[in-house]
């Protein structure tokens, strides 16, 4: 159960998704706060992040495309690259190094979505009278079933390739 269950329901899409960012950040922080990764907390983070990405990819990006918002779609291009890298990072068994890479990526990624010039605000402005419907759809998004972790060389090669494609790794 996340803190979302114990707080007042958000009235705006931005508020809902930014609150989700804070909850996900806290879950990841707690998961890596000990000597080893707390797998139970990490799995809650993993499922929550996949759901969050699904909301953006399956609800917001198609909405922005349909609305013809070039401003939102310009940001969405980087978001999609970051999402691919984040999803790849969720494949292997978590380690402190993987969690650190996720935290660093989210620190660069989340500001693209938040704030007055962020993806969420742009979608909210473009939505106008449909903003409540977007919020309702986001809140109704289902949990994502989690697959087992995979630690093969291909998983790590994909992580490296996708981080580079997103411009998030230069080494």
pLDDT in tens, 65-84: 999 999 999 999 999 999 99
Query: What's the total number of domains in the chain?
Result: 1
Question: Residue 6 falls within a domain, yes or no?
Answer: no
CB 137 within 8 A of CB 70: no
List the structure tokens of 169. 């790794």
pLDDT at residue 171 greater than cutoff 70: no
Question: Residue 139 falls within a domain, yes or no?
Answer: yes
pLDDT at 119: 96
What are the φ/ψ torsions at residue 33 (nearest 5 degrees)?
A: -80, -15
CA dihedral (109, 115, 117, 123) positive or negative: positive
d(CA 56, CA 93): 25
Question: Residue 36 falls within a domain, yes or no?
Answer: yes
pLDDT at 79: 97
Calculate mean pLDDT across residues 129-136: 91
Q: Looking at residue 117, what DSSP letter applies?
A: T
Question: Residue 4 falls within a domain, yes or no?
Answer: no
Question: Residue 133 falls within a domain, yes or no?
Answer: yes
pLDDT at residue 3 greater than cutoff 70: no
Domain extent for 47: 11-165
pLDDT at residue 9 greater than cutoff 80: no
d(CA 64, CA 111): 18
């Amino acid at each position: 159960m996340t803190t979302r269950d114990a707080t007042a329901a958000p009235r705006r899409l931005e508020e809902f998704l930014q609150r989700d960012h804070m909850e996900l950040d806290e879950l990841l922080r707690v998961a890596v706060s000990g000597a080893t990764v707390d797998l139970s907390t990490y799995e809650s983070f993993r499922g929550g992040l996949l759901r969050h990405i699904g909301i953006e990819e399956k609800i917001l990006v198609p909405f922005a495309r349909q609305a013809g918002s070039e401003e939102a779609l310009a940001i969405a291009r980087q978001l999609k690259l970051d999402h691919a890298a984040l999803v790849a990072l969720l494949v292997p068994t978590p380690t402190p190094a993987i969690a650190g890479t996720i935290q660093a990526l989210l620190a660069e990624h989340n500001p693209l979505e938040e704030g007055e010039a962020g993806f969420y605000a742009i979608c909210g402005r473009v939505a106008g009278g449909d903003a409540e419907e977007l919020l309702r759809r986001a809140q109704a998004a289902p949990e994502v079933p989690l697959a087992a972790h995979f630690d093969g060389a291909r998983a790590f090669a994909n992580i490296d390739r996708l981080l580079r494609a997103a411009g998030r790794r230069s080494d």
